Amino acid sequence: MDNQLSLDTYLNNGMKNLMSNAYKAVFNNPKESLFVFRMQTVFGRSEKKRKSYSEKENLHIPPFLISSIAIDCNLSCKGCYTRTNKVCGTAEKDKREELTADQWKKIFLEAAQMGINFNLLAGGEPLLRKDILEAASEVEDMIFPIFTNGTVITGSYINFFSQHLNLIPVLSLEGCKENTDNRRGQGVFNRVIHSMELLKEKGLFYGTSITVTSENLDTVTSLYYVNLLKDLGCKIIFYIEYVPTDPDTIHLALDEDGIAKMETNLEKLRISCNDVIFLSFPGDEKAMGGCLAAGRGFLHISPDGRAEACPFSPYSDRNVVQTGLKEALRSPFFAKLRDSGLVGGEHTGGCTLFENEEQVRGMLSVE
């Protein structure tokens, strides 16, 4: 319990710092500043809600949620974990029943009522499900970072984001033009940069998601590269360590030296660029006592509603549509993962659940 209280304190303080940094990043934009100010008040109420669930129901409510809302994607990136895990792809559409926008809205509203503040929307390509994004926009007490490949952002989407500031586009890059086009397809880099220019022109708060590999580590964590993103109006950068779901790409994963170098570079960037928010996954988990999956800091919901520990570990014993989010958090499977030490245990870098897939599957049982 003491460890959980320490984690709660760490996460709550981290969220306050995140919003404080966000306020600094949008200080010169009155519309965005007012939004961040309002959300700071909302987050204070949400912290009390999470604490109430802990005290009255002995249920820990994480502040984050990851929702994969789309199966379809207009790109086919090399080493894509969602395709490897059979989350994304046209063939999967025939095998799974995707949740409707109304079903997702019900999940989002329940999450907000429980005090979950951030809901990261992924896919597939989430911008292909505008009906779900419209539903999300109506849940005003929650912020939705939308992890998009950035190629389908049109003028109408720019106006949509301008009207709904709780939806924050996060555009994916792999570093330079060569690396991005090599992994994502010819011409993708220029299309993403164009989308960034449109977002900057409108004065919108947006971010970038960068998959860090052994090949692009030096580039994407350099001050030169970050300054390029700053000049394009980017305010938040997510660094995601590459997880090699394809055996042929194991060489792209960071080794111990690479992880240490990334941590050092990131520390320097946070000092040099204090007007940009830097988040690292799973690197930042080390400071929080290990993996945050399985409800410890977040959980993942698949396109058909399954409550999973993490996007990289697609195993589940609960479906949120059938049980509701609160009961999904009581999952015996999640409890086994936490008790095993795979979640919340010693963290040396990389994705703990992915690296121990056989052990994870062995814990999965049907009641």
The DSSP annotation for 219-261 comes to HHTSHHHHHHHHHTT--EEEEEE----SGGGGGGS--HHHHHH
pTM of the shown model: 0.91
What's the pLDDT score for residue 1? Answer: 44
What's the pLDDT score for residue 80? Answer: 79
Cα–Cα separations (whole angstroms), residue 252 to 47, 208, 214, 313: 39, 20, 5, 19
Joined tokens for residue 181? 């086009």
- Say whether domain 15-281 belongs to CATH 3.20.20.70: yes
Residues of the chain with pLDDT under 70: 1-7, 10, 14-15, 23, 84-87, 89-96, 286-289, 345-350, 365-367
% of the chain beyond a pLDDT of 90: 64
Look-up of token digits 């792999």: 174
Cα–Cα separations (whole angstroms), residue 258 to 9, 134, 221, 241, 330: 30, 40, 11, 10, 36
User: Structural domain boundaries of the chain?
Assistant: 15-281
Joined tokens for residue 254? 């960071």
What's the pLDDT score for residue 268? Answer: 96
What's the pLDDT score for residue 13? Answer: 72
- Residue 311 C-alpha from the chain's centroid: 9
- Residues β-bridged to residue 80: none
Say if residues 134 and 350 touch (Cβ distance below 8 Å): no
What's the pLDDT score for residue 351? Answer: 76
Joined tokens for residue 309? 């520990």
Q: Is 153 helix (H, G, I), strand (E, B) or coil?
A: coil
Cα–Cα separations (whole angstroms), residue 101 to 71, 131, 133, 250: 14, 6, 8, 37
State the DSSP code for 166.
Answer: T
Q: 57: left (phi > 0), else alpha (psi -120 to 50), else beta?
A: alpha
What's the pLDDT score for residue 247? Answer: 76
Q: Is the dihedral of CA 135, 170, 96, 326 positive or negative?
A: negative
What's the pLDDT score for residue 347? Answer: 56
* CA distance linking residue 262 with residue 207, whole number of Å: 19
* 283 Cβ contact list (under 8 Å, min separation 6): 239, 241, 259, 262, 263, 266, 349
Comparing C-alpha atoms, which of 197, 213, 128 is closest to residue 189? 197
Cα–Cα separations (whole angstroms), residue 341 to 208, 256, 294, 357: 32, 21, 12, 14
Q: Is 301 helix (H, G, I), strand (E, B) or coil?
A: strand
